[in-house]
Each structure stands twice: as C-alpha cells, then as structure tokens.
Amino acid sequence: MAKRIDVSGLTAYYGSHKAIEDISMTVEPRSVTAFIGPSGCGKSTFLRTLNRMHEVTTGGRVEGKVLLDDEDLYGTHVDPVAVRRTVGMVFQRPNPFPTMSIYDNVAAGLRLNGSYKKSELGDIVEKSLKGANLWNEVKDRLNKPGSGLSGGQQQRLCIARAIAVEPDVLLMDEPCSALDPISTLAIEDLIGELKERFTIVIVTHNMQQAARVSDRTAFFNLSAVGQPGRLIEIDETERIFSNPSVQATEDYISGRFG
C-alpha cells in the first residue's frame, strides 16, 4: 500500500533554532527518493519530520503540511504514534532490541499493533525476514538474540522489523554508513526489491549510492553554518547527476564542496 508523500511549506525548529525552511516536494509511491547534501543541511531532520520523529527531540516542532496521499500527518487530530505505525524507519546504526530474540525483534511492531495467532505471527516473521533477504541466514537461530548477528545482518533485521507491519512508507537514515562494502551492497540490492512494495526515502552521504539506488534525488544545502537548510532541487536521479539545473548541485556532486 505504498503512498505518495506531498510536502508543502515545511519548516522545522529545534527550540528557537530553525533547522530547515520552507521545503516543498512530492515523493512518488513505489520509488526510491534519495536526499543528499553536506552535513548539517537538514536532510535527516527533514526525513524525521516525515514520520513525526522530529518532535521527539526536546524543543522539536514543525510548521507546514505533510500529506500522505490525502491525509495531513500534522492535522489536529492525528496521533503521532499512529503516524509512525504507517511510516517505518531504519536508522544509521543498526538498533535491534538487544534483549529480544531475532523472532521477537521482527514481531515487536506486530505485537504493538494488535494480537495475532501464533501461526499467523510466524508466517509474517518468515515473510518479513525473506523480504529482508535474511531468512536463509537466521532460520535456524530465530530464538537467538539479534545482537549476536553481524552489523549488516542486524541492519537487515531492522529492515525486516520495519516492513513486518506493512508500512506505507519506509524512511532510511544513512542505513549503510556503519556497514562494510559487502553488507552495503546487500542492503542496496534489498532497496531495489523493496521499492516494488513501498515508497522509500533514503538519506545518504554516499553519492554513488544515491546514483545506484534512487529514481529521484533531492539536493539540500545551507547558505552558511547556523542558517536553516533548504531544498535546492529535486529531479530524476539521472538528470541530477548529469545535468542539474542549479550550479550548487553540480558543484556538490563534482566534489567542489561538502
């Protein structure tokens, strides 16, 4: 049930500090959109406004609209907890629940959402682990703790945990930055498969990765340190990397700054 994201005039603050200003963009369903830009440009902050994780930080607040299909995530009667159940998230460093087994990690989100029969739960866990290309590596040790896996396996476990609840959107915040090249490749392949089912937004510092995995790329920048980050442009990934319409994008991509 991939959904379209429609952001208009979004500004986010940390207390009195304005982190990102006036961002508008559309993210197509069943596609991968990559956010690139120098450190501090607000791409992670923006990503976290898409599932209302931004406001978890002390002083975090948001102005503007984020529509998921036609529903405003920041509407007056919308519960942020319900938003996070439909917009999943994978973090920079793999963070499986250390006290839970592999099975329980994947089932964690499902157990929050309601009661399932044991067999039903088992089927979803298997399907999710297969969906995250992890099933064959862990099927014999589902009752072992998730913290015993390698970093790359842990990250795929986190992806399995996120997709088990069938979210509308999957947000990934630099999901490969703590992984070795082979694990990174496994995750990138996985992203290619997952976009058949989900709307995927990925923040990355690795421009080759953006070029490899994404359909569209958004470039963020800030005019000076302490200034709010802004969306410079968003376009087809091919165009961004070959013939961007803004000079700053070309400078960043060709390594002239950032």
Partner 1 sequence: MDTTTKNPTAPPVPGPLGAEQKRAARGATRPGDRIFLGLSRGSGILLLLIMAAIAAFLTYRAAIVLTKDQGNFFTTFEWNPTMDPPVFGIAVLAFGTVVSSVIAMALAVPVAVSIALFITHYAPRKLGGPIAYVIDLLAAVPSIVYGLWGALVLVPHMNGLFGWLDSYLGWTGIFEWQGGAPRSLLTASVLLAIMILPIITNVSREVFRQVPKMQEEAALALGATRWEVIRMSVLPFGRSGVISASMLGLGRALGETMAVATVLSPTFEIHASLLDPGGGTFAQNIASKFGEANEQGRDALIASGLVLFLITLLVNGAARAIIARRKEYSGASA
**SS3 (DSSP) at 101:** strand
Q: Which stretch binds partner 1 (CB under 8 A): 1-9, 106-114, 129-137, 201-209?
A: 106-114
- Minimum CB separation of residue 147 from partner 1 in Å reads 6
Q: Which of 29, 122, 145, 258 binds partner 1 (CB under 8 A)?
A: 145
Q: Contact letters (x/-) for partner 1, 2-41, by CB under 8 A? A: ----------------------------------------
Q: Decide: is 109 part of the binding site for partner 1 (CB under 8 A).
A: yes
Q: What is the dihedral of CA 138, 104, 201, 258, to 10 degrees?
A: -80
Q: Which H or E run contains 247? A: helix 247-253
Which range of residues in 16-24, 50-58, 130-138, 186-194 is near partner 1 by CB under 8 A? 50-58
Binding to partner 1 by residue 98, rule CB under 8 A? yes
Integer angstrom CA distances of residue 129 from 104, 142, 191, 247: 12, 10, 14, 43
Report how far residue 221's alpha carbon sits from residue 203's, in angstroms, rounded to the nearest whole number.
Answer: 13
Residue 93 engages partner 1 in binding (rule: CB under 8 A) = yes
User: Among the candidate windows 10-18, 33-41, 108-116, 246-254, which touches partner 1 by CB under 8 A?
Assistant: 108-116
Between 181-194 and 151-163, two packed helices, what is the crossing angle to 10 degrees? 20
